A and B are shown apart, each in its own frame.
Chain A
Amino acid sequence: MSTRHILLGLLASGPSHGYDLKRRHDERFPQARPLAYGQVYTTLQRLVRDGLAEVDGTGSDGGPERTAYRTTEAGARELARWAAEVAPPAPYVTNEIFTKVVVSALADGDPAAYLRDQRAAHLARMRELTAVKTAPGADLATVLSADYALNHLDADLRWMTTTAARLTTLTAEVDAT
């Protein structure tokens, strides 16, 4: 999973410091492994190095000194590019699709447009797999593996259809937090 894009997505709503980014990540993606603080720190350093984020300022707020970061224009462009990029349709892509939709909604992107493109890519792959398994002379292993992939892609598709229908609500909820 792309930690840098998740952090860019979290920064899209305004400047934030490392500890706050980690806390928001762990709240937003409860199924994911919690982010190590060290990983947040090194990822932020790399985002700055690559011109995708910059230091917004430092402050202590009475406690230890903390550096706040904000996204740059290049960072916003990179986030939009990543969020719209279609993942290769394969079993287990769901988690990436899920993450893109949530991050896209967070960053005021267009998750509905992404879902439509992803759905078209899934269906195209399902047509290929169906042709493979129904070809004359297809052996059992080929048929079984095509079935396996087809059914996982179908599960993804059903989730995408439900999500597209829910998107208005999802976007409203994300906006409210």
Chain B
Amino acid sequence: MRHTDTGDAAAPLLAASDLVKTYGGTEALRGASLDLRAGETVAVTGASGSGKSTLLHCLAGMVRPDSGTVRYAGERLEEAPERRLSELRRTDFGMVFQFGQLIPELTALDNVALPLMLGGSGRTEARERAGTWMERFGVWGQRELRPGQMSGGQAQRTALARALVTGPAVVFADEPTGALDSLASERVMTVLTQTVRESGTAVLLVTHDALVAAYADREVALRDGVTAPAGVGV
């Protein structure tokens, strides 16, 4: 369920402006800006250490910037209380990381059903809806396996099903194919792209791999914590 509405269709769903974030003495972000429109997939690219993951964490409300603003559907996230941010992460945002971070003790199906149960759904309903998403991502056959018994590609597709099961408006994917070989990576990206296109979900995709960035609608390049203007990379 989405608690907020974009109102103006032309306005970005998620917008970061002039973000600065320093860890210790290191400036991870030195003025990063980015717009994400509803249903759009944007790839954030850049060398390691360029601030890609920090930018994603700020946009997802997991890290507060030192300065700058993050607006989600008009709401200022950088000053929102922690309670509101965790609510958003449960209802409006989906997360996928390089290593799926599935819960090792649960079966694949229960991993995917978990966000629904945390949101108040009953176990039967949650498992049914989770099953539909697993089928969509081609991992229905692995539903009773635990994460350690699946291949890397199967685990990532399970993680994607878990990220999308609640019907989020935005999926944040941080190097989702970083640990996969080229064909497994292609399968993850193809199914992700097709699914979000059908569901109208926006994706913020952090990657250092141009072959993965090529699945996005456009690219925003980060260099030393600064975003480059449109079309300007390296």
For B, the interface residue count at a CB cutoff of 8 angstroms equals: 17
Question: What's the nearest-Cβ distance from chain A to residue B100, in Å?
Answer: 22
How many angstroms from the CA of A164 to the CA of B233 in the assembled complex?
10
From 175 to 206 in chain B, residues with beta carbon under 8 angstroms from any chain A beta carbon are: 190, 193-194
Q: Is chain B's binding surface mostly helix, strand, loop or mixed?
A: loop
Is B214 touching A115 in the complex (CB atoms < 8 A)?
no
Is B233 touching A154 in the complex (CB atoms < 8 A)?
no
Q: Which residues of A contact B234 (CB under 8 A)?
A: 112, 115-116, 119, 160-161, 164
B150 within 8 A of A: no
Q: Mind listing 6 A-B residue pairs with CB under 8 Å?
A: A116-B232, A123-B210, A127-B215, A134-B194, A154-B210, A164-B234
Question: What's the nearest-Cβ distance from chain B to residue A162, in Å?
Answer: 10
Is B233 touching A123 in the complex (CB atoms < 8 A)?
yes
Question: What's the nearest-Cβ distance from chain B to residue A57, in Å?
Answer: 43
How many angstroms from the CA of A158 to the CA of B214 in the assembled complex?
14
Given contacts A116-B232, A123-B213, 12 further A-B contacts (CB under 8 A): A112-B234, A123-B219, A126-B211, A126-B213, A126-B214, A127-B215, A127-B216, A129-B214, A130-B214, A134-B193, A150-B214, A154-B210
Is B214 touching A127 in the complex (CB atoms < 8 A)?
yes
Question: What's the nearest-Cβ distance from chain B to residue A51, in Å?
Answer: 34
Question: What's the nearest-Cβ distance from chain B to residue A130, in Å?
Answer: 4
Q: Is chain A's binding surface mostly helix, strand, loop or mixed?
A: helix
Interface centre among B193, B194, B228, B231 (most CB of A within 10 A): B231
Question: What's the nearest-Cβ distance from chain A to residue B83, in Å?
Answer: 39
B63 within 8 A of A: no
A120 within 8 A of B: yes
Name the CB-closest residue of B to A120: B231
How many angstroms from the CA of A122 to the CA of B211 in the assembled complex?
11
Q: Which residues of A contact B80 (CB under 8 A)?
A: none
